[in-house]
Amino acid sequence: MQKKKAIITGITGQDGAYLADLLLKKGYEVHGIKRRSSLFNTDRIDHLYQDPHENGVQLVLHYGDLTDSTNLIRIIQQVQPDEIYNLGAMSHVQVSFESPEYTADVDGVGTLRILEAVRILGLTDKTRIYQASTSELYGLVQEVPQSENTPFYPRSPYAVAKMYGFWITVNYREAYNMYACNGILFNHESPLRGETFVTRKITRAVAKLYLGMQDKLFMGNLDAKRDWGHAKDYVEAMWLILQQEKPEDFVIATGVTTTVRDFIRMSFSEIGVEIEFKGSGVDEKGYVKSISKPECPLQPGQEVVAIDPRYFRPTEVDLLIGDPTKAQTKLGWKPKYDLPALVKEMMAADVELFRQEKLLKDNGYKVLNQFE
């Protein structure tokens, strides 16, 4: 039997890395689209890299960009994929307020470019398409928990661009009978999460506080509530969505919501520190209440969390909590991780990362920087 071929846009991102790993383990030939960058940008998939000079290579990387139809058409024509996972995006909500037009081009029109490429190339009967849609579509709370039937009310240029991506996927499915589906994924995290998303920002900072490498963590809105899962579980759902008889859209979530404040508490608790918050609004601060690990350099009463209003968004999404019933029933999908297990894994990874950095520094070695 011929190997299945998949294209992943956004293969260098968090989800791209986990999905590439999953598909390779399932025996796929995986083609990833990566952007040209002035520095190497393949850290997350270097362990999967295969030398193109060898025979039987299963992972192939192509240069490309979602803003360039010509190159998307060429790659899709060359690969003739069974499945395309469109994960590439300008994925940071706050940054989308700074770069709204670029975000619309990549996240909105980029989705159209993929769908149209498949149509132009006459692959509508062969190629199945997964579109990385998001719980940000729900935006301003209309109902909870949010399901496939909850109306959308996007609250950022990112979410509005993704709304176009969602509906153009539905439209191509209906207009051209394409197998094209949206996964409406709620927030999912991991040790590979980008450093400026809230969970990773917190676990990195708490690890550095524990190792005496940082004094304080500056945060935005601590009241925001998110339904956080593990990226490893969520890429499994992406694959399942494309294996169904009929193309449909699915919500993927844990059904549990937690405040940013509680995520901070849970992260500190991994280093044996209990935190108490005092004050409100921009004056809220987090203090060390107790410490159970003697090696921890923090002191009771020390201020370790403060608010910096620069991290507030012009319009915020206050509450996300997903209803994964359809995915559980039709896909048989069930996450293996809960939030405590996710926080534990992320904290352990960041403590290890900075322990290595500190060890080098403490012994007179520089952390490698090729420019110095």
Residue 357: name the closest of 345, 348, 367 by CA.
Answer: 367
Active site residue 158: yes
- One residue of 72, 115, 118, 198 binding ligand GDR per CB under 6 A: 198
The number of residues that bind ligand GDR (CB under 6 A) is 22
Interface stretch with ligand GDR, choices 97-105, 128-136, 274-282, 353-361 (CB under 6 A): 128-136
List the one residue out of 165, 261, 254, 252 whose CA is nearest residue 222: 261
Q: How far is CA 95 from CA 44, 159, 219, in A?
A: 22, 12, 16
Q: Candidates 81, 154, 220, 229: give the one binding ligand GDR (CB under 6 A).
A: 220
Residue of the chain from 97, 197, 277, 287 that contacts ligand GDR (CB under 6 A):
197
Stretch that binds ligand GDR, among 44-52, 62-70, 215-223, 276-284 (CB under 6 A): 215-223
* Interactions with ligand GDR, residue window 252-281 (CB under 6 A): 260
17 near ligand GDR (CB under 6 A):
no
Q: Are 93 and 54 in contact (CB under 8 A)?
A: no
Draw the binding track, 49-88, toward ligand NDP (x: CB under 6 A; -: no contact). Answer: ----------------xxx-------------------xx
Instruction: Determine if 136 is a binding residue for ligand GDR (CB under 6 A).
Output: yes
Question: Residue 94: which of 321, 263, 310, 319 has the closest Cα?
Answer: 310
Torsion of CA 117, 158, 41, 339, to 10 degrees: -120
Based on the shown chain and the rule CB under 6 A, indicate whether residue 88 belongs to the binding site for ligand GDR. no
Residue 290 and residue 302: Cα distance in Å, rounded?
10
Q: Which of residues 83-122 bind ligand NDP (CB under 6 A)?
A: 87-91, 106
- From 134, 199, 203, 258, the catalytic residue: 134
- Is 136 known to be catalytic? yes
The letter for the amino acid at 359 is L
Distance of alpha carbon 114 from alpha carbon 266, whole angstroms: 40
Cis before 145? omega within 30 = yes
Helix (H) or strand (E) holding 182: strand 180-185
Q: How far is the CB of 342 from ligand NDP (least distance, A)?
A: 12
Q: 291 is in the binding site of which of ligand GDR, ligand NDP, none (Cβ under 5 to 8 A by kind)?
A: none
Q: Is 279 left (phi over 0), alpha (psi -120 to 50) or beta?
A: left
The separation between CA 213 and the C-alpha centre of its own chain, rounded to angstroms, equals 27
Q: Does 209 bind ligand NDP (CB under 6 A)?
A: no
Q: Which of 5, 6, 7, 14 binds ligand NDP (CB under 6 A)?
A: 14
Distance CA 344, CA 270 (A): 7
Placement of tokens 């809105």 in the chain: 221
Q: How far is the CB of 356 from ligand NDP (least distance, A)?
A: 22
- Nearer to ligand GDR by C-beta: 43 or 262? 262
DSSP-derived secondary structure letter, 65: -
Residue 30: enclosing H or E segment and its boundaries? strand 29-34
Instruction: Mark whether 337 is an active-site residue.
Output: no
The residues that are catalytic are 134, 136, 158
Give the footprint of ligand NDP on this chain (CB under 6 A): 9-10, 12-16, 35, 37, 41, 65-67, 87-91, 106, 132, 134, 185, 187-188, 194
Give the footprint of ligand GDR on this chain (CB under 6 A): 91, 93-94, 134-136, 186-187, 196-198, 201, 219-221, 224, 226, 260, 311, 313, 316-317
